[in-house]
Structure 1
Amino acid sequence: MLDSPETDFPPFAPPSEPISDTKYAIGLHAAGLVRDGGTLQIGIGQHLAPGTGQLAAAETGPFEKGLYGVSEMLFEAFLGLIDAGILKRDVGGVILHGAFFLGPPSFYRALREMAPEQLARIQMMPVSFTNEIFGDEDGKRRARVDARFVNNAMMATLLGTAISDGLENGQVVSGVGGQYSFVAQAFALEGARSVLALEATRQSGKQAQSNIRWSYGHETIPRHLRDVFVTEYGVADVRGKSDADVIAAMLQVSDSRFQSELMRQAKDAGKLPRSHEIPAAHRENYPERIGAALRPARDAGLPPSFSFGSDFTDVEQRLIPALQLLQQAQHTPLQLAGLLWQGMRHPPDAADRECLARLGLDKPTHFAERAYRALVTAALQRSPKG
């Protein structure tokens, strides 16, 4: 047994990450799918009507009955829902069943400090309970009404398959985890839906790439289990629809930089009529549109970069967007050169000097450190202050 003061340190806990405009837009769309009086299960990495066919209009009313939570993973978002009075529909005196708990130090601190009577309403159960309806199936069906099973996908195809655990070259990115179980429950329970969220694009070097493809050589969730996809540009309800209707719906939530090529591929394959056109309302799916839509809320202090608080210091929170900007700029030499020139011409202010000190760049000793200092200074000047 290893037991000594030298090895007595707190275990690592994953810090809360800042939430981008893209992720907020996805969350807002997904939140409109959650029904009052329903059930919520959220998968690892995620931030919600009945039967087949069209989803009801976005839910915008207050949560009077509240939600019941049954989730493979319990993390800080669920505590936020409890604090907001949303997670309150109890099943046998319990408002939340979770298989395992994971979050930043503040998450565990909140659980430790929770009143005993409130903590008793949160119960830990095996994965076989949260991810399956077998074993007391009648009781689970009564409890999991209007369930929304929300999970992340890396990519999706126009035909409604989801790619979440690996690449077409055989590289494994993660385990499938409970994603298939989520989808299976969504099809087994009356009124339930599977919601797979994904960002419409990702950055690969200098180029943006679409996360919605015509086809892909690996799949996690097959097309016959397609249900609801959410991107920052909207919701695609594809359960029970024809291939042509599924393709049309997926095109509407794709990034407009890739829509024409995706549509051409579908038409060339004979899966979409040659006369099909993407509606005008969905041909402006650009990142700038998302930023513009959320800017008034951002300017008003909502939504915050860290929805449930952060273990990062104020200085570290200030550095995060600047370092992200530098990460993007390293693929564009001209942008990097512009940052270097700006940082050399405009000295840092007092707040920026604190950030430079956190990186050990407050007193550069050689040319490389002076260059790094100039780059970080410019990135700080270009990134949001709050």
Structure 2
Amino acid sequence: MAKPETFNAAEICVDAVLEKVGKRIVLGLPLGLGKANQFANTLYARAEQDPEIELTIYTALTLERPSADNELHRRFVQPLLDRLYADYQDLAYNQARRNGLLPANVEVCEFFLQPGSFLHVNSVQQSYVSANYTHVPRDLLDRGVNVIAQMISPAADGSGDYSLSSNPDLTLPVLELARERGHGPITLVGEVNPRLPFVGGDARVAADRFDFLLEGEAFTKELFAAPNAPVRLTDYALAFHIAGLVRDGGTLQVGIGTLGDAICHVLRLRHCNNADYRDILQSLDVDTERVLFKQPLELSDFQKGLYGASEMVPEGFLHLRRAGVLKRKVFSDATLQKLLNDGVISDTIDENTLIALRDAGRIQCPLTEADTRFLQAVGIVDPRYSWRGHRFLDEHGEIEECDLHSGAGRNKLLGSCAGKPLPDGTWLHGGFYLGSTAMYRALREMPAQEMAGINMTAIDYINELQKDRDLKIAQRQHARFVNSAMMVTLNGAVISDGLENGQVVSGVGGQYNFVAQAHELPGGRSVIALASTRLAGGRIRSNIIWEYPHCTIPRHLRDIVVTEYGVANLRGKSDRDVIAAMLCIADSRFQQELMDKAKAAGKIEADYTIPEVFRNNTPERIHAVFAQGHRLQLLPYYPLGTDLTLEEARLAVALKALKEEGRKLWDLWPIVRKGRSVCKSKAPEYKFVHECLERMEFEYSDTFEHRLEAYLVAGSLVLFLEKDRPLGEVSDLALAPTPV
């Protein structure tokens, strides 16, 4: 194939694309981090100028720099923009559609929105495409995609290869499906950014896969940072219950966000501070009789370790790798994997490896040419041998039999491979990643041997079982697929993507894929996690509800639901038993109301009562558990670190809590009153408050409005920061995973 044309300016590349493709362009952009922003912006600007260009952009999770919707947020956000995002170029189409300024010849469709960011933008709500993640390649081809533009990373080994790095998830399956269908040509544009980590495996592609490359200093940009947010105690309570479901030797999927951070931290505690983990989990768990979930809690540390199979690779997985938790490797042959699972062989190559493969029928005796190729490909037979008609020829021309009957013969065949670990094992399959600057640096600096265990790949490999089904079943032992929800009905239907009026908050993404997959995998479980309540506009509302006009996951796929109060196993249960279980993990302030509705509908007996042990589901009980001894010290706000400074980390906690309290002055008056006294105090314990006010430039506020805002911030810092709870490591945490 021809080498790609290389340009040092996006304008020239757009000229070349228009000349090749024409003026009707259906542009596929990867979700999240991997978008070719400069190419996309230049193409969009050209379409704005030329109404003859018909441009459709199909993508998801368009990232944009944080913005402020009030003065408090502006004071917090502006320094972040200057420090973390000065080098980031926002996508022009995003701001245009937010302001209702998209030209008539441009259409933007997304199948997953940045959560909550477009609730009141009608054009975005109307152009949203509800689709399972794995169906997007099909939908792209049906729409006639003819250009894909992606940020890529250059290899440093002189090969001339590139990595799709953060986003092989859709690019790989789109190109494969296009070949299978005989779809017309798709022009592939690569925007080369050396700051994007080079990830090998399936994400590594030859230069000739691209038609055009954008390369040069202008495209070497800092990556979009997603600073870790503060983790609340509710997230930690959820995380402990979820960690109690994760089997040693199993498979793990979690998503981005504070819950994922909490889960990874608690799993690390389980391995590294096992006594503390057991102590806290057993204190939180009131279901000692195992009424809601018959299986015992998983309490041991990780001897076998976990394997990660997650569409979204969260930063916490790198921490789990460093801690020795994410260490179970999987291999690309189903029979070999099954033998490892069953303990018939170990991952150290010896003659038993050959015997077991022969007895399992994977290879014959004497070996065939295909057997030889397989054994050498997986690193079991010495690569110096070549197959010659039922005999082997070594580099010296000496002949060996292909017979496996004798120990001496088997050991000769193993040769230099004997005693070595099976090569090319994978400890993490992922579809895309997004995280902090520390995560990107960790991936850039990761030793090659360690990076070889990560395979960023096509999303259908992660999220489905259709292709390579036997292999995936063998790899994904005891899978736990953990996903968040906004609400869950009493009968187990899950709402994750939209509001009651049909407005889309985010999207389905891969949640349905993982839930369905969990029901098909032997030993697999889907875990839906949600806080039992939310605080909105100063009012507490239950996230466990009686009914809702739509759902993301229908009730016939109900499995495990977890709140901060416990774990409800819903799989295979009757409606009555599902409702009873859900009532037991609901907040006690809403249990009676929910139970009354179930009784009125005849779905549970009229004389049913919630067992006494589940009637104290209150935030006070959860806090009391965590407040004992040194437990809070084990649960930092930022367990994975954060790009924020110390003052910013504190402010993020306070401002988030303040936002939930409500907007009316009488709701906030106790906070204002506390803040006023703190602002006037010179007590040493309030020094940190004045440092935070200085960061917000409130120290010299001279107007009543600004002083009132300063009092709100000061009061929030004192009232909402938990005592004796550390922040964790802050200010651009350096993370460098080491081989396990």
TM-score range, shorter chain: over 0.9
Q: How far, CA to CA, are the matches of 2:221 and 2:466 in structure 1?
A: 41
Superposed counterparts of 1:156-175, under 5 Å? 156-175=488-507
Residue 314 (structure 2) aligned to one of 61, 72, 75: 75
Matched, 1:140 2:477: no
Q: How far, CA to CA, are the matches of 2:429 and 2:517 in structure 1?
A: 16
Calculate the aligned-residue CA RMSD, in Å.
2.1
Superposed counterparts of 1:260-271, under 5 Å? 260-271=592-603
Residue 251 (structure 2) aligned to one of 24, 34, 39: 39
Match of 2:544 in 1: 212
Match of 2:639 in 1: 307
- The one-letter code matched in structure 1 to 2:612 is A
Superposed counterparts of 1:190-209, under 5 Å? 190-209=522-541
Residue 554 (structure 2) aligned to one of 215, 222, 228: 222
Match of 2:628 in 1: 296
Note the C-alpha offset of 1:8: 6.9
Residue 57 (structure 1) aligned to one of 292, 296, 316: 296
Match of 1:28 in 2: 240
Question: What SS does the aligned partner of 1:301 have?
Answer: helix
Note the C-alpha offset of 1:146: 0.9
Q: How far, CA to CA, are the matches of 1:189 and 1:381 in structure 2?
A: 48
Deviations 1:179-211 (A, max 9, x none): 111011111111111100011011121211111
Q: How far, CA to CA, are the matches of 2:570 and 2:588 in structure 1?
A: 20
Q: Rg: which structure is higher?
A: 2
Q: How far, CA to CA, are the matches of 1:258 and 1:150 in structure 2?
A: 25
Q: Bigger relative contact order, structure 1 or 2, given CA contacts below 8 A and separation 6+?
A: 1
Moved over 4 A (4+): 2-9, 297-300
Question: What SS does the aligned partner of 1:27 have?
Answer: helix
Match of 2:174 in 1: none
Note the C-alpha offset of 1:56: 1.6
- The one-letter code matched in structure 2 to 1:229 is V
Q: Retained in 1: the 8 A contact 2:241–2:564? A: yes
Change (3 A) 1:106 1:251: same
Change (3 A) 1:286 1:73: same
Structure 2 unaligned regions, length at least 5: 1-8, 11-37, 39-215, 264-291, 332-424, 727-740
Deviations 1:274-306 (A, max 9, x none): 111101111111111111111236665111111
Matched, 1:343 2:675: yes
Match of 1:17 in 2: 229
Change (3 A) 1:300 1:198: closer
- The one-letter code matched in structure 1 to 2:705 is A
Match of 1:273 in 2: 605
- The one-letter code matched in structure 2 to 1:35 is R
Q: How far, CA to CA, are the matches of 1:336 and 1:107 in structure 2?
A: 37
Q: How far, CA to CA, are the matches of 1:173 and 1:214 in structure 2?
A: 21
What is the percentage of aligned positions where both structures have the same residue? 49
Deviations 1:304-349 (A, max 9, x none): 1111111111111122232234324444644522332333334254
TM-score normalised according to structure 1 size: 0.93
Change (3 A) 1:25 1:300: closer
Note the C-alpha offset of 1:7: 8.9
Matched, 1:377 2:719: no
Question: What SS does the aligned partner of 1:156 have?
Answer: strand
- The one-letter code matched in structure 2 to 1:362 is E
Q: Retained in 2: the 8 A contact 1:195–1:230? A: yes
Deviations 1:337-377 (A, max 9, x none): 23323333342543222111111111113221122222222
Superposed counterparts of 1:101-180, under 5 Å? 101-180=433-512
Q: How far, CA to CA, are the matches of 2:644 and 2:240 in structure 1?
A: 25
Structure 1 unaligned regions, length at least 5: none
Q: Retained in 1: the 8 A contact 2:675–2:713? A: yes
Residue 91 (structure 1) aligned to one of 330, 350, 366: 330
Matched, 1:360 2:360: no
- The one-letter code matched in structure 1 to 2:585 is V
Note the C-alpha offset of 1:142: 0.7
